[in-house]
Amino acid sequence: MTYLKFHMMLIKIFICFTAFAFSDSRIYVWTYEYQTMEKGAAEVEHYLTFKGNDRYTTENAVTTIHNIELEIGMNDRFDVGLYQNFSQAPEGNLRYDGYKIRMRYRLSEKGTFILDPLLYMEYKGTPDFSTHVLEGKLILAKDMGNLNIALNPVIETALSSRENVTEFKYNAGISYRVNPLLALGLEIKGTGDQLFMGPVVSHGVDGLWIAIGSAFALNNISNGHNPFQIRLITGIHF
């Protein structure tokens, strides 16, 4: 067997393998799909997010966010994620922001309903235990061949000694899998008066994958909201 034939055989074997292996990779960076970690398996994910506070320049205007997650499949429909959160302001030092615990539960098997439903619950705390954030999402998604659509209505409540604030948000995405290793899509997210949109690209399989996306403000946003965000997620499956 020549080197070229051997090389082509390895490529064919790799493509055949990856055709069945991408089911746990993320195709969005803001929006959740209809999936949970399989029972007894685990994955480490790193979220790298850049938040710019100026529409016209990035110099001394970008905050870097690091979220490190350990995701564990508890049973066939339920998984848990444990996060450690860090941030670095422009010209500042890296600091520890706190922790997060999130749970996902699939209500049925894929294809049972028009949109596949999944429940998402999250608790986020600060190092001094002064603020507690509770978040709930209804994850609705559908695969139609290589096309995926997903919608996540969100309710978030921040509890502190000073005030309690409840906010309604949403994330949504549409993505097309070009081949077993590559998916291209578009995401939107926002609140009642804020709207963000940006492209997203996902590459890899469930053993090792990356997804990169962005969110740019489409309207005038209020103080405290960043006009653009870029996020890169890397996943390593065990």
The band of 28, judged by pLDDT with boundaries at 50, 70 and 90, is very high
Radius of gyration of the chain (CA): 19
- The answer to whether 232 and 215 have CB atoms below 8 angstroms apart is no
169-219: pLDDT as tens digits: 999 999 999 999 999 999 999 988 889 999 999 999 878 999 999 999 998
47-74: pLDDT as tens digits: 999 999 877 778 888 999 999 999 999 9
pTM of structure: 0.86
| b/e map 90-101, b = 16+ CB within 10 Å | eeeeeeebbebe
- The answer to whether 217 and 196 have CB atoms below 8 angstroms apart is yes
Name the residue with higher pLDDT: 238 or 94. 94
* pLDDT score at 1: 45
Task: Tell me the pLDDT of the chain averaged across its residues.
Answer: 89
Identify residue 3 by its one-letter amino acid code: Y
Q: Which CATH superfamily is domain 3-237 in?
A: monomeric porin ompg (2.40.160.40)
Cα–Cα dist 213/200, whole Å = 4
- Is the confidence at residue 4, as pLDDT, over 80? no
86-142: pLDDT as tens digits: 999 998 999 999 999 999 999 999 999 999 999 999 999 999 999 999 999 999 999
